[in-house]
């Protein structure tokens, strides 16, 4: 197998697991978890935020590991965490064990994506790198859709959610083994890099990007944490059991999220500022639909599709914006953006859980929609510029 296909397949498998069932599984199975473990909506928000805190920590550790040891170690560690965490969820006897399993599983997403840019840069010819990175990113959408489909089919067939998670754990272990083998050729000493100072990233021109990333972290994680439960608590969509109706969210979310693969072309056609506004408005409409029509087939499908498109395209759009702001520090600049997203991801679910407990799920989702709409209105074309300042220090 050529390096292109070997690394692309390894990255596809890793992101399918870590950004599929490992990162999305808690929200996908929240109706079942609430029933089995007697979890309140406020506790659910705390557990989700704990998991996204793991994602935040994983991003930081992954950067250090990649810089010192190369990309193989953080990727393998991430998949090991995913396998252990998913397996713990499958056998969890109580809420503390479930929470720890969710933390480990979601930690894996922070470890396992960004090092693939380094791995592909080392092992794939320059002309083929964009295609390889696109294949890696596709694993996210298809992993989410596959997890949703598995949950729907197994639940409708009367199969326990524990068996479903056991199958996810087996898939994660298989991905771990495959990546361990595929990445053997990129385990050498990392290339020397100049010392980089984080402070050069915190320039005034970068504040809008970090602000949008923070809002995106809140709105996207509130949706994936609570949308399925909102549908189940409202009675579900027609013809599907209430406790598995939320699976439709993740199926549509993942499949329509594949639109993210054409983000570059869309950005070229309409410009980055307009694309950012439209994506945040799509997020606002998505949350509003879940708040107002959670039992409508059309409402659920459109809501999930808009959210999937928003999440997949926004990730790429923020990378484009980061590249413009930090042309000399592309990897570190985008990591800073992801940390802003992760901060919003930590704070969003716990705040949303408390709001839902106090006011109800519908007002909570409407509040989330208002935040996304406000972020869309705040985007200005003047924010999108080539570089915050001419120096771009690297030492």
* Per-residue pLDDT reduced to its tens digit, 285-299: 999 999 999 999 999
Residue range 201-384 in CATH 1.20.1250.20: yes
Is the pLDDT confidence value at 241 over 90? no
- Indicate the pLDDT class of residue 164, thresholds 50, 70 and 90: very high
pLDDT at residue 391, rounded to an integer: 43
pLDDT at residue 190, rounded to an integer: 53
Helix ranges (H only) for 234-381 are 247-256, 263-270, 272-292, 297-325, 330-359, 361-378
pLDDT at residue 187, rounded to an integer: 59
Q: How far apart are CA 288 and CA 306, in angstroms?
A: 11
Give the pLDDT confidence of 219-235 residue by residue, as tens digits.
Answer: 999 999 999 999 999 99
Q: Measured on CA atoms in the order 65, 124, 261, 256, is the torsion positive or negative? A: negative
- Indicate the pLDDT class of residue 114, thresholds 50, 70 and 90: confident
Most confident of 69-78, 258-267, 345-354: 345-354
Terminal C-alpha separation, the chain: 40
What value does the mean pLDDT take over residues 170-190? 84
Question: Which CATH number is 1-189 given?
Answer: 1.20.1250.20
Assigned token pair, 60: 């930081």
Q: For residue 176, give every residue at least 6 positions away whose Cβ sits within 8 Å of its Cβ, in sequence order, or none.
A: 76, 79, 80, 82, 83
Most confident of 189-198, 219-228, 243-252: 219-228
pLDDT at residue 289, rounded to an integer: 97
Give the pLDDT confidence of 39-95 residue by residue, as tens digits.
Answer: 999 999 999 999 999 999 998 898 888 888 888 999 999 999 999 999 999 999 999
The whole-model pTM stands at: 0.88
Judged by average pLDDT, the poorest of 66-75, 340-349, 379-388 is 379-388
Q: Are 109 and 23 in contact (CB under 8 A)?
A: yes
Domain ranges of the chain: 1-189, 201-384
Is the pLDDT confidence value at 395 over 70? no
Which of 46, 48, 42 has its CA nearest to residue 358? 42
Beta-carbon neighbour count of residue 38 at 10 Å? 9
Assigned token pair, 19: 């950004």
With pLDDT > 70 as the criterion, what percentage of the chain qualifies? 92
Tokens 């021109």 sit on residue:
205
Is the pLDDT confidence value at 344 over 50? yes
Is the pLDDT confidence value at 104 over 90? yes
- Indicate the pLDDT class of residue 393, thresholds 50, 70 and 90: very low
Complete DSSP assignment for 51-76: HHHHHHHHHHHHHHHHHHH-SHHHHH
Beta-carbon neighbour count of residue 355 at 10 Å? 20
- Indicate the pLDDT class of residue 386, thresholds 50, 70 and 90: very low
pLDDT at residue 323, rounded to an integer: 77
Distance of CA 307 to the CA centre of its chain: 12
What value does the mean pLDDT take over residues 12-32? 93
Tokens 């890099």 sit on residue:
193
Alpha-carbon distances of 77 from 135, 176, 177, 191, 215, rounded to whole Å: 21, 9, 11, 21, 29
What value does the mean pLDDT take over residues 13-19? 93
Q: How far apart are CA 374 and CA 381, in angstroms?
A: 16
DSSP code for 186 = G
Would you report the helix, strand and coil content of the chain in percent, each value rounded to 5? 85, 0, 15
Longest Cα–Cα distance in the chain: 62
Give the pLDDT confidence of 316-336 residue by residue, as tens digits.
Answer: 888 888 877 877 666 677 788
Assigned token pair, 15: 């992101």
Judged by average pLDDT, the poorest of 23-37, 39-53, 93-107, 196-210 is 196-210
Instruction: Note whether 1-189 and 201-384 share their fold.
Output: yes
């Amino acid at each position: 197998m050529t390096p292109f296909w070997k690394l692309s397949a390894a990255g596809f498998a890793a992101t399918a697991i870590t950004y599929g069932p490992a990162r999305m599984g808690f929200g996908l199975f929240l109706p079942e978890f609430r029933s089995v473990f007697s979890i309140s909506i406020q506790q659910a928000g705390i557990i989700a935020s704990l998991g996204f805190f793991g994602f935040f920590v994983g991003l930081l550790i992954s950067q250090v590991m990649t810089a010192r040891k190369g990309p193989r170690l953080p990727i393998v560690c991430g998949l090991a965490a995913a396998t252990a965490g998913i397996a713990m969820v499958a056998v969890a006897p109580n809420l503390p064990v479930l929470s720890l399993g969710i933390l480990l599983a979601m930690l894996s997403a922070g470890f396992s994506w960004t090092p693939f840019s380094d791995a592909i840069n080392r092992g794939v010819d320059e002309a083929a790198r964009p295609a390889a990175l696109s294949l890696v990113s596709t694993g996210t959408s298809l992993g989410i859709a596959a997890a949703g489909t598995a949950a729907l089919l197994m639940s409708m067939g009367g199969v326990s959610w524990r068996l479903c998670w056991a199958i996810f754990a087996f898939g994660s272990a298989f991905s771990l083994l495959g990546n361990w083998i595929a990445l053997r050729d990129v385990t050498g000493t990392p290339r020397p890099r100049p010392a980089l100072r984080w402070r050069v990233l915190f320039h005034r021109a970068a504040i809008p990007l970090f602000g949008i990333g923070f809002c995106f972290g809140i709105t996207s994680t509130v949706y994936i944490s609570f949308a399925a439960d909102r549908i189940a608590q409202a009675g579900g969509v027609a013809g599907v059991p209430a406790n598995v109706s939320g699976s439709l969210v993740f199926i549509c979310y993942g499949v329509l999220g594949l639109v993210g693969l054409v983000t570059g072309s869309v950005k070229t056609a309409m410009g980055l500022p307009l694309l950012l506004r439209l994506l945040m408005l799509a997020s606002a409409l998505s949350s509003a639909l879940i708040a107002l029509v959670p039992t409508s087939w059309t409402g659920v499908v459109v809501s999930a599709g808009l959210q999937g498109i928003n999440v997949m395209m926004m990730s790429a759009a923020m990378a484009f914006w980061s590249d413009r702001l930090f042309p000399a520090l592309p990897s570190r600049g985008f990591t800073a953006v992801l940390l802003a997203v992760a901060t919003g991801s930590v704070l969003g679910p716990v705040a949303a859980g408390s709001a839902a407990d106090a006011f109800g799920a519908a007002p909570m989702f409407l509040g989330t929609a208002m935040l996304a709409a406000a972020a869309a209105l705040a985007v200005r074309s003047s924010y999108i510029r080539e570089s915050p300042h001419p120096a771009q220090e690297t030492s």
